[in-house]
């Protein structure tokens, strides 16, 4: 999100969090502080394999409440960021049950996991994965569901249940 009007509209819609993409290769990359930053919604910075110093500078500059990590960030980085008093969301790309094994390394160092559709490109595919795979997730860390979620997903979302499911992540398209 970069445009003040869009940020206000999304905030007024009552969402819990608004994401700002800090990945230079993304078409939605945010370089400058927007004219308006949400006042009643948590600000989330989305990063891909960024150095901790750059993430911490961006946290301060944009007043971020949360970071979402979409690369190959190590658990140690997640732990260090949590010491900065921000919530940490670590993304895992899912296409099959064995993809869930990676979360065990991050036990206790993230506030949330985000389960997204595995694809070759960064920034998502707009496609959903088989959510029934998450029935095998037995961890204690709550998770967000992502990947191709749209208005057409509403019925499937109503049917989906999991004791650690905390919400959904949708993009701004």
- Which domain, by its residues, includes 17? 4-168
In this structure, is residue 119 part of a structural domain? yes
In this structure, is residue 112 part of a structural domain? yes
Domains contained in the chain, number: 1
In this structure, is residue 94 part of a structural domain? yes
- The domain that holds 66 is classified in CATH as 3.20.20.70
In this structure, is residue 47 part of a structural domain? yes
In this structure, is residue 173 part of a structural domain? no
pTM here is 0.93
List the pLDDT tens digit at each of the 173 positions of the chain.
888 999 999 999 999 999 999 999 988 899 999 898 999 999 999 999 999 999 999 999 999 999 999 999 999 999 999 998 999 999 999 999 999 999 999 999 999 999 999 987 665 667 889 999 999 999 999 999 998 888 888 899 999 999 999 999 987 65
Residues whose CB falls within 8 Å of the CB of residue 60, separated by 6 or more in sequence, listed in order: none
Long-range CB contacts (within 8 A, 24+) of 49-56: 49/73, 50/22, 50/23, 52/77, 52/80, 52/81, 55/22, 55/81, 56/81, 56/84
């Amino acid at each position: 999100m970069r445009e003040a009007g869009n940020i206000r509209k999304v905030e007024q819609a009552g969402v819990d969090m608004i994401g700002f993409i800090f990945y230079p290769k993304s078409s939605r990359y945010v370089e400058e502080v927007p004219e308006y930053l949400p006042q009643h919604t948590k600000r989330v910075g989305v990063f891909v394999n960024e150095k901790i110093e750059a993430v911490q500078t961006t946290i301060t500059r944009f007043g971020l409440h949360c970071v979402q990590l979409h690369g190959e960030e190590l658990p140690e980085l997640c732990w260090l960021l949590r010491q900065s008093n921000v919530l940490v969301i670590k993304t895992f790309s899912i296409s099959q049950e064995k993809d869930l094994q990676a979360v065990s390394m991050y036990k206790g160092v993230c506030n949330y996991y985000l389960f997204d559709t595995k694809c070759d490109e960064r920034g998502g595919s707009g496609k959903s994965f088989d959510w029934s795979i998450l029935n095998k997730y037995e961890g204690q860390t709550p998770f967000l569901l992502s990947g191709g979620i749209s208005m057409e997903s509403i019925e499937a979302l109503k049917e989906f249940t999991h004791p650690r499911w905390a919400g959904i992540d949708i993009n701004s398209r």
